Every structure is written in structure tokens, then in C-alpha cells.
Chain A
Amino acid sequence: MAVVFSKPKALTDAPLHYCPGCTHGIIHRLVAEAIDDLDILGKTVGVAPVGCAVMAYDYFSCDMVEAAHGRAPAVATGLKRAMPDRIIFTYQGDGDLASIGMAETVHAATRNENITVIFVNNAIYGMTGGQMAPTSLPGQVTQTSPYGRDVKTVGYPIKVCELLSGLDAPYYIERVAVNSVKNVTRAKKAIRRAFENQIEGKGFSLIEVISSCPTNWGMTPQKALDWVESDMIPYYPLGVYRDKSAKEAE
């Protein structure tokens, strides 16, 4: 009997602390599978964020660095410039990347730093107890928007892929989801592609992964994935927002 599916080597045996049904676990695994597939475990350095994934350094068996809140792309820039032969990735949530770390993200993108950014968007601040995030949907009920997000007073959600694709520099930007087997397969390809781009020295790759937060959304794990399909994906359309390899081929 051949093994069809087992835990990737780039993940440690530590049990994940995430809530039941949280798709952080799936995204961790997809990153680890990409590292395994490309055989780069020995030279990969990850940068962990502040947020639910703050303990990512316990779960990946590559070297990890913990950055200050939102500063992961700046730390990754330093790592990559000091050690250009290493593969550097950041793993950030929406509170980390789209709120406090927006400046670092935009500037790393516009410099086309040769790093890979995995951006997990679950439309809420998970670790701190479910406050409204910059990516919360209009009308979404959270701890700090109990009557739903009112776009007249707090503005509209930030669409990171659309925002960054307005810049000239970034090499590859794609938005994927992990709410079904089909989307997980696509997400795996996208994350692998982002690492390949870095190995080839192409520049900044960002993969936005639409995730779920059953605990703070107040839903069962499966219902949360259904909500991703019915509410989040229509607001955050999946697809490739920037692919400079297509231009290079012309």
C-alpha cells in the first residue's frame, strides 16, 4: 500500500492550538507541503506574525523568526537581503497585514522584494476575541460592531489583492480560499507557485487565503465554510490579480 496522504515533514508533531474547524491548520499544511515538494526545508526561514498564528514557530520545522505586530514583511526584507540564498516567507493574518502592517506590506510590494507573503483573511480579529477588522464585511456583526459594520462611519473593507495590484512592482498576486476540496487544491498550487517565484528570483508574491473563524463568527465549522462561499467569496473574488510571467512570455 502506498501512502496517498500523510502529514508533511515541514510541520512538527506539536498539536495545533487553533479552535476546532479553524482553517489555519489547512493553510499551515499547504505551506508545509509546498516546502516539502520543492525540497527547500533546510534553507527556508519563516516569519511569524502577531495574531492567532503567533505560535507558528512551534508548528513549522524550518527556522522561524517572530516579528513585531505587522512588521513581518520588513523583517523578511532584512532576512532576504542578508541571506539571499535562503527562502523567506511570512505568514500573516488580516489584523497583522491589512491593519497595523499595511505600510510594511505596501512598501515591500512596491520594492518588489523577493519574498513570499501568505496572507490569511478571516474578516475578524480572532485572537483578541472577535473585534471588527479592516477586512470585516459591510454589515458583519462583531464584538465592536454589534449592529453590523456601518460603512458610513468606519469605511469599507480593504481588498488587499486589488490594492496591491494597483502598484507596478509586485510579481505575483492571487486570492484563493480553503472552504472546499476544490479550492484547497487551487490554494496549494498558488502557494507552491509563490515559493517557485522566489526560488527563480522573480520578486514579491502574495497569496491571500480566505479563511474562516467559526468561534468568533459564532458558527459551526461547516457553516463557517458555507458562509465563506455565500458571503465572503462574492465580496472578495478569487483569482489571479497580478502575474508578470504572462507579460514575460509575450
Chain B
Amino acid sequence: MAKVTFLTDVCKGCGLCVNACPRGLIVLEKEKINKKGHSPAGITDESKCIGCACCAMMCPDCVITVEK
């Protein structure tokens, strides 16, 4: 199991991390709006995360930190 942290207020909701996740765990949380006015990315089920950091590698804004 890995720990994935999002800097929610920096996220621009581009969704590149959503497509990068090989397990399809990341979603844009449509019910939330951050300081910039975007729906930020978040993880649905952290227990299934393998800690590959693909999401963080595709994030243009360094929103994601991955620990394993």
C-alpha cells in the first residue's frame, strides 16, 4: 500500500493523472471546487495503489507526492 498526497489548491483539474494511473484509481472530484475554481484530482481507494508514481510523473504542477 502506498500513500498519495494531493496539494489540492494547486491542482488545475487537467486530468492527465487520471489517464496515467494504470489502476484507474484517480478521479476529478466533481463535488469539490478548489481556490483556483477547478475540480481537483483525488484518489478513490488508496489501499489498491501500487505506488508507481505514474500520476505524479504526468502532473504538470507537482501536485502529487507519493510515498511507499
Contact = CB atoms under 8 A, between A and B. Distances in A.
B20 interface: yes
A184 B20 CA distance: 12
Interface in B15-67: 15-16, 19-20, 38, 51, 53-54, 56-62, 64-67
A62 B10 CA distance: 22
A225 B62 CA distance: 18
For chain A, give the interface size range. 20 to 34
Among A5, A19, A181, chain B packs the most CB atoms within 10 A around the CB of: A5
Contact of B53 (A4, A22, A29, A225): A4
A175 interface: no
Given A5-B53, A15-B10, A221-B15, A22 B60 contact: yes
Contacts of B38: 20
A185 B60 contact: no
Nearest to A184: B57
Contacts, number: 72
B60 A25 contact: yes
Nearest to A11: B62
Contacts of B66: 3-6
A2 B51 CA distance: 11
Interface string A137-158: 0000000000000000000000
A204 to B, nearest CB: 28
A7 B62 contact: yes
Contacts of A67: none
B68 A4 contact: yes
A4 B2 contact: yes
Contact of B61 (A6, A15, A180, A185): A15
A229 B53 CA distance: 22
A18 interface: yes
A24 B62 CA distance: 12
A20 to B, nearest CB: 4
A20 B12 contact: yes
A16 B61 CA distance: 7
B15 A181 contact: no
A20 B12 CA distance: 5
28 contacts: A1-B3, A1-B67, A3-B65, A3-B66, A4-B56, A4-B66, A5-B53, A5-B56, A5-B65, A6-B65, A7-B65, A11-B62, A16-B61, A20-B12, A20-B38, A21-B12, A21-B14, A25-B59, A25-B60, A26-B57, A26-B58, A181-B20, A181-B54, A181-B57, A181-B58, A184-B58, A221-B14, A225-B16
Interface of B: 2-3, 10, 12-16, 19-20, 38, 51, 53-54, 56-62, 64-68
Instruction: For the complex of A and B, list the 5 residue pairs with the smallest distance between their C-beta atoms, beginning with the closest.
Output: A25-B60, A21-B14, A20-B12, A5-B53, A20-B14
